[in-house]
Structure 1
Amino acid sequence: MPLNSRTLLIAASLAVAGVPALAGGSAAGGASLAVTISGIKSSKGVIRLAVCPPAAGFPECKGHMVKAADLAIDKGKAHAVFSGLAPGSYAISVFHDANGNGRLDTFAGIPREGYGFSANPGFKPRAPRFDEAKIDLDGDAATEIRMRYIL
């Protein structure tokens, strides 16, 4: 998938995910996943995050994300804890919505705002596949996502 299409798909899915703080328990019990996003270059705006199950068509998730949140930025980091998650595999997409417009801004298909994925897959000229960004959740866990800025 070309970089331009990739960024548009991520932006569209995360804009849908940009509902305020759906973080938290959705079911009694279940596992908790603590997510830290690091390497955020500015405290302006918010971090938009979507937790996607395998069948959701990662990174788009097409409205099927399990959890979503808008996160405040503090000293170059953002944090969330999602509880009530069933055991299984998940992948996370994030982007830094620095100007608060609800989308990942691009220039000639290149992201102008930071973005990242769980498991921190290496840069490729396409969106990562689910298996490249997946987190296997068998119980409570924590993960860190490093933001990537190109422009």
Structure 2
Amino acid sequence: MKTRLLPFPLAAFLTLSAPAFSEGIQLTIEGVRNNRGNVLVLVFDNAKDYETLNYWNAVGYAEISAQTGIVRHNFSALNEGPYAVFLFHDENGDEDLNTRGNHLLEGVGGSGAPNREDDPNFSQASVLPGKVTVGVHYDK
């Protein structure tokens, strides 16, 4: 059997245009303030469900034990995108984001937020598979 080599420009083009292998979303969560409860993560693939936080239609969900500082989780099956990530630190384990009036009692975060206090819409929050970092915001 004879091996046929492609001309260099064609071989280079095929190499550069081949889709990169993706391992889904490799999520890093920064700024978790304590070890109580879990960090609940929802991943959405459309604006309507993200902006209404319709968890029934999330394409990714995880409950991760809270750890002070940094928490990581991989969503290896999410290889298409774009996706938007919303999370909250459920310190008391009731699976509800607790507030008092407009004051957050638990931390929240979203992908694409330029500042932790921001609440990005789906377009702003959209990320492709790969490394994604989300910071947690707590009201004082």
TM-score over 0.5 for the alignment? Answer: yes
Say which structure, 1 or 2, has more relative contact order (CA 8 Å, 6+ apart): 1
CA distance in 1, matches of 2:40, 2:132: 16
Task: Say whether residues 1:147 and 2:139 are aligned partners.
Answer: no
2:98 matched to 1:109? no
Query: In the alignment, is the contact (CA less than 8 A) between 1:59 and 1:93 conserved in 2?
Result: no
How big is the alpha-carbon RMSD for the aligned residues of Structure 1 and Structure 2?
1.9
Regions of 4+ moved over 4 Å: none
Scaled by the length of structure 1, the TM-score of the pair is 0.70
Cα offset for 1:56? 4.3
Q: Is the contact between residue 52 and residue 58 of structure 1 (CA under 8 Å) also seen in structure 2?
A: yes
Q: How many Å apart are 1:136 and its aligned residue? A: 2.3
**TM-score normalized by structure 2?**
0.75
Q: 2:35 aligns with which of 40, 43, 52?
A: 43
Q: Name which of structure 1's ranges 77-86 and 54-63 shifts more when overlaid on structure 2.
A: 54-63
Q: Provide the aligned length of Structure 1 versus Structure 2.
A: 118
Over residues 63-113 of structure 1, what are the superposed CA-to-partner deviations in whole Å (9 max), with x where a residue is unaligned? 110010100123322111011224220000000000111111101122111
One-letter amino acid matched to 1:135? V
Which residue number in structure 2 is paired with residue 13 of structure 1? none
Structure 2 residue runs of 5 or longer lacking an equivalent are 1-20
- Which 5+ residue runs of structure 1 have no aligned equivalent? 1-28
- The structure number with the bigger radius of gyration is 2
